[in-house]
Amino acid sequence: MGFWDALTYTRDISLSTAQNMERLKNHSGGSQATLGAGFSLGGSQNGITIEAGASSYSNKDKGNSLTHHNSVVTAEDTLTVHTGRDATLQGAELRGQSVKADIGRDLLISSQQDKNQYDSKTSSGGVSVSVCVPPICAGNFVQGSANAAGGKVTHDFKSVIEQSGIFVGTGGFDVHVGEHT
């Protein structure tokens, strides 16, 4: 990391963040089927049975994130800033033991919001059936079951993580602005 002593411009100074954007998109799913034979005694079906079943699932995820990383101008001792017109710190920091600034017109300091959005949807279902095979059959001739489930998660986060501003040590700051802050 390097150090600066002064930023001097006859017109405007504009410092802004570096941005990191990430996107997530995922889709997965699957299904299965089963077929088999069995023999049971003492239940709701007694005898030889044929068993069949099927199930499936689906999962969809998507998300976006935007992260800001402040630009930082640091002086080991005193940082001096001079502009003939405007100074804009839009996701930026001025740092030093002391900061002296002479801004010709306007000083704008704003922090940038980080954003994180995520959505997930899941679903699943299945069926099963059991058929008792005559002539060795007692009880229920056919038994079956079905199930279904689903879920959804939504996440939306916005917050300022890195504050913009003028940060000083024991030397304090002396800032003169010609018009608006």
Q: What is the pLDDT of residues 95-124, one digit of tens each?
A: 999 999 999 999 999 999 999 999 999 999
Q: What is the pLDDT of residues 75-95, one digit of tens each?
A: 989 999 999 999 999 999 999
CA distance 16 to 92: 6
Contact in structure between 17 and 89 (CB atoms under 8 Å): no
For the chain, domain boundaries: 6-177
Query: Based on C-alpha coordinates, what's the Rg of the chain?
Result: 34
pLDDT of 181 higher than 80 = yes
User: Residue 140 has what pLDDT?
Assistant: 81
CA distance 130 to 158: 53
**Confidence band for 17, pLDDT divided at 50, 70 and 90:** very high
Which residues, including other chains, have CB under 8 Å from residue 180's CB and lie 6 or more apart?
Answer: 105, 106, 107
